[in-house]
Structure 1
Amino acid sequence: MHSIDIGISTENRNAIAEGLKKLLADSYTLYLQTHNFHWNVTGPQFRELHLMFEEHYTELALAVDEIAERIRTLDVVAPGTYKSFAKLSSISEVEGVPASREMVEILTAGHEQVVKTCRDVLVLAQGAADESTASLVSDRMRLHEKTAWMLRATL
């Protein structure tokens, strides 16, 4: 491939990509948690939560691809293993199968963490005039804020 020249310095591209790697790891970890809870939720809200979790993990599956492709667009290798995601993610894995209310609380906190990670990446992108990353991250932030609100509303 030819060298990249998109108007963002190598230093800024690398810094933004490092932030995006954390966003990718957080998003993938949240995807796995959401999918796990979709499979294992029980209780009086089973149908509502089962369907809501499916909507959420389906959206997250698309998001991780978009984030990884942005990292590649910046000419940086995207992480793609559980080991690398575990190192990069701010979201902890959950042991066992929590009760449905705790699932909602865990997922709410996960979406809120993704919002915080987005904010960190947004600062980097805006500082480098990287409108493409800023737009992607801003859209992700808005979606995770809304999802956290919807989850909180079920409690």
Structure 2
Amino acid sequence: MAINIGISEKDRERTAASLSQMLADSFTLYLKTHNFHWNVTGPMFQTLHIMFMDQYTELWNALDMIAERIRALGYPAPGSYARYMELSKIEGEDGVPKAKEMIRQLVAGQEAVIRAARETFKIADAAGDQSTADLMTQRMEIHEKNAWMLRSLLEDDTAEPAPAPKKKRAK
């Protein structure tokens, strides 16, 4: 049956293709985050173990929303490791890096997903696809927060605090 939801076939196809990359990036980040959850060690173990679990659980739930949006647009969602490897811009990790390297890799992964969501948002917005644009706005917000939280763990605790903002003079 033909799909008639007010978005042209060309726009639905372009949006679904962009969502497919978003799905692949999200799945790759999910897998990497879960791997790091299992394998993290060191003084930050408890903090990272819990943080990674929160992040991979959230990612797992998001995968379904992204895949179902692709289906709602009338296209099959990619669902194999091989296809994800073709589509994803996130590097996999076969080893077990030190905790700080795990954090660096996850920041890079979160930022890659943010860029993918931003690109998908632009495509969806231009097509008048508010549902996809809304989903991408939600994904950007979550991944920007995750990246910030991870990045904060890499800050040098010996650095001097930033100066307080100067007060404006009353006229």
Instruction: Name the TM tier (shorter chain).
Output: over 0.9
Listed as ranges, the matches of 1:1-150 within 5 Å are 2-150=1-149
1:3 Cα deviation after fit: 1.4
How far apart, CA to CA, are the structure 2 residues paired with 1:77 and 1:147? 29
Q: Secondary structure at the match of 1:129?
A: coil
TM-score by length of 1: 0.98
Return the alpha-carbon distance in structure 1 between the equivalents of residues 13 and 137 of structure 2: 19
Using the size of structure 2 for normalisation, the TM-score is 0.89
Mapped to 1, the partners of 2:25 and 2:131 lie a distance apart of: 20
Deviation at 1:95, TM superposition (A): 2.4
Bigger radius of gyration among the two: 2
User: How many residues are matched?
Assistant: 154
Q: Distance in 2 between matches of 1:51 and 1:124?
A: 35
Q: Where does the alignment leave 5 or more consecutive residues of structure 2 unmatched?
A: 155-171
Q: Distance in 2 between matches of 1:88 and 1:138?
A: 21
**After the TM superposition, which segments of 4 or more aligned residues of structure 1 sit over 3 Å from their partners?**
none
Which residue identity lines up with residue 24 of structure 1 in the other structure?
Answer: L
Distance in 2 separating the partners of 1:54 and 1:94: 17
Q: Is the helix fraction higher in 1 or 2?
A: 1
What's the CA shift string for 1:94-126, capped at 9, x where partnerless?
Answer: 121000000000000100010001111011001
Task: State the percentage of identical aligned residues.
Answer: 53
